[in-house]
Amino acid sequence: MGRYGNLDYPTLAKRSTLTSFVLFAVGALGLALTGSSLPGWEQALLFDAEVAGVLGILLCPLVFGIVLPLTE
């Protein structure tokens, strides 16, 4: 057994990247479809979802696909 237990890194990388893509898509579609009709806090929430999705798309494959398997 490894240091982090019995983790399936390829599956974690795929699922977390897909989840990040869905988060980005929800934020982007929400802002595109509603325009400026939303209150400021909802626009900020959708924008933050976009940013978190992009960061997740970039970092999840790196962390779960490369870094964590190398530390086992």
pLDDT, tens only, 35-62 = 789 999 999 999 999 999 999 999 999 9
How confident is the model at residue 7, as a pLDDT? 86
pTM of the model: 0.85
pLDDT, tens only, 11-37 = 999 999 999 999 999 999 999 999 789
CB-based contacts of 34, cutoff 8 Å, min separation 6:
46
Domain ranges of the chain: 22-71
Amino acid at 66: I
How confident is the model at residue 6, as a pLDDT? 83
pLDDT > 70? residue 3: no
